[in-house]
Amino acid sequence: MLRLYDYSLLLTYTVNYHHSTWVCCQLGAREHYAIPRALHQAGQLKTLITDTWINHYHLLNWFPQPFFTNLRQRYHPELNHAKIKSFNQSQIAWELAQKNQHIYDWELIIARNDWWQDKVLEILKKSNLPDKKVTLFAYSYAALKLFRYAKKREWNIILGQIDPGVIEEKKIFKEAQKHKNLQKQISTAPHYYWTDWRQECTLADRIIVNSHWSSQALQQIGISSDKLKIIPLAYQSSDIALKFNRTYPSQFSAQRPLKVLFLGQVIIRKGIAAILEAIDLLSNKAIEFWFVGKIEVELPKKAKKNSRIKWVGSVSRNKTSLYYQQSDVFLFPTHSDGFGLTQLEAQSWKLPLITSQFCGEVVKDRINGLILPNITGKAIAEALIFCLNNPQQLSNFSHNSTEILSHYSLNKLAQELNTLNINKY
């Protein structure tokens, strides 16, 4: 469950509109550091506090290849001139200790979130931030201790909700029961995980969600819509992606099949069961499927042997661009995602999308892709047949992606964050 390892992002900032001070406390490289980058670009970032920050000096002297490959992503050049504090050595030592003690899954996730909050609190307690007129922003599941501290300081409190919460877990558990041939059991969070999260929601003055689906899910458990603010994720295209020119053949054939890309964890939540059903329905069509990501289900033998399916497995982030470039359409039939950043990554490479209704509103139906009416093999098959028979329409979808992507810029993110000023005092 990739979303559970998307480590939490924490922010603090003053709410004076003309003189905002933001202290970003981010665990992991979530969203490629989009929020601190947006704030730094707007001149509002005072400090970024993060668990691990690997600049070029550390990279050359501490982490030679092939060790600590993932840590090489804990950096962004746009923050070179920002004030940054990190816990490199203690964080790495802590992670190694958990591994040596064979602590994994939910126990590890919860322990990491607790450890991280304690480290952040040490910094906040030593800071000279004033009482009142400060806003603390923290991402869900690693915020409760911070919110309790903020409440004592009479700060404003904003929660960034990374997913649809407990409603998502219930939805996916129900879906997994239908496909025990693919996944015999699904890991669910302990009860107190959700109890703590509900306390976070209660303490928060406002809750940021990234999609209408997440907003609906939180309202289902009784959270008022007045407390919720929808702010989509942000994404900045690379120069190479901006210059990329995507072309389509006049028609697809056995020699030049329609190339469908699925990029992400191969799990029930992401719609793998429906995709496999669609592949069976499309057995005589000129369509090729590429699955890029960790496989966490038991694949049927016929799927493993199918020559039209390429099971690539996990790849590093800097290699995903190759698959975006080589594909014709991006398939994202997720049963539940707070947003799905891969949609924006695909759009940056002018790649048309086929998505469900349970993620961010990146797709404008029949403009830059297709929205599935439901997540079934039949619905996916029909969408892919449309693409197969209409390469010119795919070209139009691709062309429209540039305008769509402009709505998800760092400038737009900074503007949306500024609308969260709370006139409490």
Same domain for 319 and 370, yes or no, is yes
pLDDT tens digits along 222-235? 999 999 999 999 99
Residue 425 belongs to some domain of the structure = no
Tokens describing residue 268:
């029930």
Residue 423 belongs to some domain of the structure = no
Q: Hey, which bits of 183-264 come out as E strands?
A: 206-209, 228-230, 258-263
Same domain for 184 and 275, yes or no, is no
Same domain for 80 and 7, yes or no, is yes
pLDDT at 158: 86
Same domain for 246 and 149, yes or no, is no
Residue 344 has pLDDT above 70, yes or no: yes
Same domain for 230 and 325, yes or no, is no
Least confident of 118-132, 332-346, 375-389: 118-132
Same domain for 214 and 243, yes or no, is no
Q: State the DSSP code for 130.
A: P
Same domain for 303 and 402, yes or no, is yes
Same domain for 136 and 95, yes or no, is yes
pLDDT at 19: 47
Same domain for 215 and 246, yes or no, is no
pLDDT tier at 420 (50, 70, 90 boundaries)? confident
Residue 18 has pLDDT above 90, yes or no: no
The CATH number assigned to the domain holding 293 equals 3.40.50.2000
Residue 35 belongs to some domain of the structure = yes
Q: Which domain holds residue 189?
A: 2-234+409-418
pLDDT at 73: 80
Same domain for 100 and 201, yes or no, is yes
Residue 63 has pLDDT above 50, yes or no: yes
Residue 144 belongs to some domain of the structure = yes
Residue 334 belongs to some domain of the structure = yes
Least confident of 9-13, 134-138, 238-242, 366-370: 9-13
Q: Into how many domains does the chain fold? A: 2
pLDDT tens digits along 146-175? 999 989 998 888 899 999 999 999 999 999
Tokens describing residue 343:
């949609």
Q: In what order do the strands lie in the sheet with 309-313?
A: 309-313, 287-292, 258-263, 329-332, 353-355, 369-371
Same domain for 260 and 399, yes or no, is yes
Same domain for 98 and 207, yes or no, is yes
User: What is the Rg, in whole angstroms, of the alpha carbon atoms belonging to the chain?
Assistant: 22
Q: Cα 359 to the chain's mean position, in Å?
A: 10
pTM above 0.85, yes or no: yes
The CATH number assigned to the domain holding 161 equals 3.40.50
pLDDT at 298: 96
